[in-house]
Structure formats: structure tokens, C-alpha cells
Amino acid sequence: MTATEAIATVGLPGAPVKKTPKTGAKNRKLLLTLNIVSVVAGVLLWWALSLAGFRLPTPVAVVERAGSLVASGTLLTDISASLTRVLIGFALGTLVAIPVGFLMGWYTIARGLIEPWVQFFRTIPPLAIIPLAIVLMGIGEEPKIFVIFLAAFFACVISTFQGVVNVDRTLINAARVLGSKDGGIFLRVVVPASTPFILVGMRVGLGASWSTLVAAELIAAQQGLGFRMQQAQMYYDLPTIFVGLITIGILGLLMDRVLLFAERKLTGWQERR
């Protein structure tokens, strides 16, 4: 039996999986149609609530305010500032979390030394760190990025750790039988098997990063979607608040779809519904 056949037999990542392209394409088309229907229904419900007397701006008013903010350059400037903070904080948090999660999951000594601190600090909301971050880092970009970093880090490190410890021992034993050393097992078995967990952790971390953004921009920000929404709150400017909310939602959704696409490409061996 060849190595490839043995891998396929025990079900290692990389084993051939029967695919039905027509069924997959049909399901994606159905999901896209349902997504569009859901969005249209949500907008119509929003419009109905605003016309029914609820203190909500109409979709038309929000679109008009978005147009004026785009025309003045304010919205694009705020998007650039917020997106930069989220991308830097999220990227740094992920880059640190993945190796730390692998260390915790693969080495018992590292787990014993690191896990108590991770479990302790992850119960502290990143927003609660803001006063400390201001004292230690000032009121520049560093504290804003730092709290976003924490939000992404703790979501991703736990997911990576769980991915490593949940790797099926049968896969590892099969790789040893085939003559793989620890390094080869880690790269060819543990990393691929942990990839779905890592990507899920990244998606959760991305959502946490955007959730933390508005509070992070409380730290003496002069630009950003969170800053603009806080300014609008002072003047009861609901259309501007809605523009900020919708913009954050759209940006977060687009970034999540990028991660979802990467997940499909990197975990093609995994069976899906």
C-alpha cells in the first residue's frame, strides 16, 4: 500500500473526497437567492417600521446622508481610518495567536505555562483594557490597535489550540507507521487538520475586532466610523449613525466572505453539506 492509499484509508486531510459540482453550484445559487430575499425583506421591514412611527430614519434618508458624506470625502476618510486599525490589529492578533495556539496544543510544557494566562486574560473584555492602554501608550493609534489586537488574539488562540488537541490520534499513529517524524507529522497532519479550527477562530476574531472598533475609537480619535457615530450621537443625527452601522456591517461581511473563500480553498478535503 502506498502512502497516498494509506492516507486515504485512514481519512487524513488530503484524502480524495467525492464531490458533486452540480449539487454544490445549485446549493450556492440557492443560498445567494435566499440571501438577496432576506436583505430585501429586512430593508422593507426597516422602512415599514420607520413609516409606522418608530424613531428610525427611512432607508432613503440614510442613502441621502451616505451620499453627502461620500461627496464631502468624510465617509471615505473614516472608512480608511477604521479599516486600517482593524486590519492591523486583526493581522497582528492572528499572527501571534496561531503559533501560540500550536505551542499550547503540541507541547505539554508550553500548555502548562501559557494556558493559565490565556484563560485568565481572555475573560477580561478588551474594552476594560482601554484605561490601562491609554495610561501606558498614550492617546495615539497604539492603544486603539492594541485593544483590537487583543480581541482578535484571544478568539484565534483558543480555536487554534482546540484544533491541535482535537486532532485524531489515529491520524498521527498512521503517519508514524508510514515513517514520518515529529516535524513531518506536525506539518502534514496537525496543521491541515487544525486549519478549519484556525479559520473559524479568525472569523470569530474578525467579528470581535469590528465589535471593539467603536469603543477603541473613543480613545481621542479624530477620524473613523466609530468616532463619526459618537459625534452624531451628540446631535441625535440618526441617519449618520445608521450610515456608520451599515458601513461597518458591509465591511465586516466582505472580510468574512474573504475568509470563507480561503476556508473553502484550504480545506477542500473536508466534506461539506
* pLDDT tens readout for residues 17-70: 455 556 667 777 888 889 899 989 999 998 898 888 888 888 999 999 999 999
**What would the grid cell of residue 200 be?**
473559524
Q: Which CATH number fits domain 58-266: 1.20.80.10, 1.10.10.10, 1.10.3720.10, 3.30.830.10?
A: 1.10.3720.10
The pTM is what?
Answer: 0.80
- Tracing cell 445549485 back to the chain, one arrives at 26
The closest of 149, 165, 156 to 200, measured between CA atoms, is 156
- Three-state SS at 183: helix
* 78 CB-side CA count, 13 A: 27
- Segment 79-119, tens digit of pLDDT: 999 999 999 999 999 999 999 999 998 888 988 999 899 88
Question: What pLDDT does 44 receive?
Answer: 92
- Segment 218-265, tens digit of pLDDT: 776 788 898 898 888 888 889 999 999 999 999 999 999 998 888 887
* 193 CB-side CA count, 13 A: 24
* Mean of pLDDT values over 183-196: 81
Flag whether pLDDT at 165 surpasses 90.
no
